[in-house]
Amino acid sequence: MNIRISVNSHLRRELLDRFEKAVKRQSMRLTKRILVILDVLDGISWEEAAQRFALDLRTVEEYVIQFILHGMASLAYKRPPGRPPKLTKSQRKELCELIDAGPQATGYKCGCWTTALIQEMIEERFGVVYNTLYVAELLKNLNYSYQKARFVSDHLEQVAEKQVNWMKEGWPAILRQAQEKGAMILFGDEASFAQWGSLSYTWSRRGEQPTVKTSGKRCSYKVMGLIDYFSGAFFFKTLEKGRFNSDTYATFLEEVLAKTHQHLILIQDGARYHTSKAMQEFFAAHTDRLTVQQLPAYSPDFNPIEFLWRNIKKNATHLRYFPTFQDLVQAVDEKLHVFANLPDSILALMGKYCSSLGTASS
């Protein structure tokens, strides 16, 4: 339902005055309510107003109808007399649960919590009015921080059981097998390093966003790698041209087999060129030296070499300009050889890996 309404200039002026006062008091709830009314007066549909301010349509309807019936009196939120109340212990617990659930679960049509939005939610849910600066301090005291979100696959629920089995049964079994055979445990993966560079956080002057030149060339330097759980040894093969495929993967593994004498337990993900028919034949031909174990699907954090790739990108490509492809190759190669000569750094990554699994590193 949409009702077109109009008001005289005097009432509009009153609305604007009330809006300015609400802004000064940092009453986000009232500020948003007045903005909704002003938008509707300007001819914005109720549906569009609801979408613009991330509100439920019924809330917008209530705002407008109450304004039609009661005018400016509908904009007065009653506050209890005396000193403003604080959240009780149980209310703080409920607040944490609401924040953890996310804005959408609480009725807002957005996915990001801001200090102002949480201030509004506290006022609406608990009747407690806090300054936005205090809300920020409250959140810190409740062990929250303002941080960038990350994507997680929507397949995680489907593979959760396999991940649990990997931690409780698969990984301990691999450790036992390696100790019995005197084998190396090699975690393998591939990474691409882009010539156009990579962005990251850095310190810079306030109000001046740092910039990094880029050639814009869509070229990348590809690296195949294996790291040993016990010794920290790092094996790698680089590709300046072409793509990762079964042939390059098999060639890399043959080189590693030639450089080692122990039995190798290879832990890999489910990339197609890892599990292709050609690789199955390769593995079958090398069972005397090679045992293959598959990581659970959609589980990159279960592979400690991911930590290594992040470290190399941080030191080699983040916020750096590469005018030529060879400049990129030189920078990446330099860091690859550094880590190849620092097994203790690799072992430190293994400790981080074991900590994430809740197991003790050897």
Q: Looking at residue 331, which CATH number applies to its domain?
A: 3.30.420.10
Do 352 and 297 belong to one domain?
A: yes
127 and 166 assigned to the same domain: no
Which pLDDT band holds residue 32 (cuts at 50, 70, 90)? confident
36 lies in the same domain as 51: yes
In a domain, residue 278? The reply is yes
pLDDT at position 180 is 94
Q: Is 155 a domain residue?
A: no
User: How many domains does the chain fold into?
Assistant: 3
In a domain, 282, yes or no: yes
Residue 153 confidence (pLDDT) above 70: no
Taking CA atoms, 313 is separated from 192, 274, 357, in Å, by 10, 24, 24
The verdict on 94 and 176 lying in the same domain is no
3-state secondary structure the chain: CCCCCCCCHHHHHHHHHHHHHHHHCCCHHHHHHHHHHHHHHCCCCHHHHHHHCCCCHHHHHHHHHHHHHHHHHHHCCCCCCCCCCCCCHHHHHHHHHHHHHCCHHHCCCCCCCCHHHHHHHHHHHHCCCCCHHHHHHHHHHCCCCCCCCCCCCCCHHHHHHHHHHHHHHHHHHHHHHHHHHCCEEEEEEEEEEECCCECCCCCCCCCCCCCCCCCCCCCEEEEEEEEECCCCCEEEEEECCCCCCHHHHHHHHHHHHHHCCCCEEEEECCCHHHHCHHHHHHHHHCCCCEEEEECCCCCHHHCCHHHHHHHHHHHHCECCCCCCHHHHHHHHHHHHHHHHCCHHHHHHHHHHHHHHHCCCCC
Token pair for residue 330? Answer: 């030189």
Q: Is residue 310 situated within a structural domain?
A: yes
Same-domain check for residues 208 and 339: yes
The stretch 118-137 carries a mean pLDDT of: 87
In a shared domain, residues 14 and 108: no
Count of CB atoms situated within 10 Å of the CB of 202: 9
Q: Containing domain of residue 277, as a range?
A: 161-357
Most confident of the following: 20-29, 69-78, 116-125: 116-125
- Kindly state whether residues 237 and 104 are assigned to the same domain: no
What does the radius of gyration of the chain's CA atoms come to, in whole angstroms? 29
Query: Strands 184-194 and 234-239: what pairing?
Result: unpaired
pTM over 0.75: no
Q: Mind listing the pLDDT tens digit for each residue in 173-220?
A: 999 999 999 999 999 999 999 998 888 878 778 788 888 888 878 899
Please tell me which residue, 134 or 359, carries the higher pLDDT value: 134
Question: What is the per-residue pLDDT for 250?
Answer: 97
Considering the domain architecture, whether residues 66 and 102 belong to the same structural domain is answered as no
The length of the chain is 362
Last-in-domain residue among 56, 77, 98? 77
Residue 47: per-residue pLDDT: 86
Greater model confidence, 240 or 26? 240
Answer yes or no: is pLDDT of 269 > 90: yes
Integer Cα distance of 140 and 6 in angstroms: 44
pLDDT at 335 over 90: yes
Does residue 154 belong to any structural domain of this protein? no
Burial of residue 299 (CB within 10 Å: 0-12, 13-18, 19+) is middle
Please give the mean pLDDT across all residues of the chain. Answer: 86
Is 32 in the same domain as 180? no
Residue 362 confidence (pLDDT) above 50: no
Instruction: Write down the pLDDT at residue 361.
Output: 47
Q: Which of 9-13, 283-287, 316-320, 346-350 shows the highest mean pLDDT?
A: 283-287
pLDDT in tens, 279-314: 999 999 999 999 999 998 888 888 999 989 998 998
Specify if 156 maps to a domain.
no
What angle do helix axes 132-141 and 115-126 make, rounded to 10 degrees?
A: 90
- Same-domain check for residues 236 and 269: yes
Mean pLDDT lowest among 88-97, 99-108, 247-256? 99-108
Where among 48, 77, 106 does a domain terminate? 77
Residue 62 pLDDT level (bands cut at 50, 70, 90) = confident
Burial of residue 221, with CB atoms counted within 10 A of its CB: 0-12 exposed, 13-18 middle, 19 or more buried = buried
Residue 305 is predicted with a pLDDT of 93
Contact 72, 11 (CB under 8 A): yes
- Residue 145 pLDDT exceeds 50: yes
pLDDT surpassing 80 at residue 317? yes
The widest CA-to-CA distance across the chain, in whole angstroms, is 90
The verdict on residue 53 lying in a domain is yes
Is the model more confident about 54 or about 257? 257
Residues 126 and 252 reside in one and the same domain: no
**Is 362 inside any structural domain?**
no
Q: What is the pLDDT of residue 64?
A: 87
- Each as own residue / partner, the long-range contacts of residues 81-84 (CB below 8 Å, 24 or more positions apart, any chain) are 84/128, 84/129, 84/130
Residue 357 has pLDDT above 70, yes or no: no
Q: How many CB atoms lie within 10 A of CB 220?
A: 16
Domain co-membership, 73 together with 87: no
**Last residue in a domain, options 26, 55, 77:** 77
- How many other β-carbons are positioned within 10 Å of the β-carbon of residue 333? 15
For residue 240, give both structure tokens.
Answer: 């300046």
